[in-house]
Amino acid sequence: MNARFGMVDDAGMVGDRSLLMYRIVMAVATPIVRWWGRLEVVGKQYLPASGPTVLLANHDSHWDPVVVGVAGVPRRQIRALAKASLWRNRLLGWVLDHMGQIPIERGRGDAKALAAAIDQLNAGACIGVFPEGTVSHGRTLRALSGAGRLALAVPDCQVVCVTITGAVDIVRFPKRPRLRVEFFAPADGPPRSGESAVALTKRTMAEIRAGAPPVVTGRRRRAAAEQAALDAAS
């Protein structure tokens, strides 16, 4: 296993080095997400307390990884596949490394990142994935195959869907957001025999987007301009 990503114990929790930093970051974010954001968490029983797990979620705000991380505390440490460009900021990259997050080059079929994620799944970790690859900005995006590939690579892996709503309002001060995170099992069940990675990702993302349609991000004026542009193009 790559030492950069730490160790995972038999319960599927990342070892003390990354777990400590993860808990620190979640603790710092908790007042914003839980108090200011009035976070509501639904279906937490669907998030396994241990064992290989792939979380698939919608991505409409840069706050989404933090919001779903706080929602999952203390049940699981979520190791996200995060865009590699975040590591260009040395301080942020250091924090992400010490949280056990995994950098991935978006849209390039990053085999190295997927292999690292599979290693972690085999060790019992929980991997968070945004299958659309980037923030939606109100657009309907194509679901990529990476999440499905991870789930299919580890036979006893559990697939959990997550909807995140309200996160776009965190930056719209003084409007107070109302955050909601819902964990749920795919209605059509776990990966089927012979099901492709793309098919698995598409059907789970369809369920997620049914509960969390794409929304524009940013401050109100910018969001209104983006929404007008989307409406004009449709």
d(CA 212, CA 59): 9
Contact 125, 110 (CB under 8 A): no
Q: What is the mean pLDDT of residues 21-40?
A: 97
Q: How much of the chain, in percent, has pLDDT values that exceed 70?
A: 85
Three-class secondary structure of residue 25 per DSSP? helix
Q: What is the mean pLDDT of residues 208-218?
A: 94
Whether CATH 3.40.1130.10 fits 3-233: yes
- Residue 6: band (very low, low, confident or very high) from pLDDT cuts 50, 70, 90: very low
Check whether 27 has a pLDDT greater than 50: yes
Radius of gyration of the chain (CA): 17
Q: How much of the chain, in percent, has pLDDT values that exceed 90?
A: 78
Provide the pLDDT for residue 92: 97
Q: What is the mean pLDDT of residues 68-79?
A: 96
Domain boundaries, the chain: 3-233
Provide the pLDDT for residue 13: 41
Stated pTM of the model = 0.87
Three-class secondary structure of residue 17 per DSSP? helix
Distances from the Cα of 153 to the Cαs of 16, 55, 116, 124, 182, in angstroms?
26, 15, 12, 13, 25
Beta-bridge mates of residue 163: 182
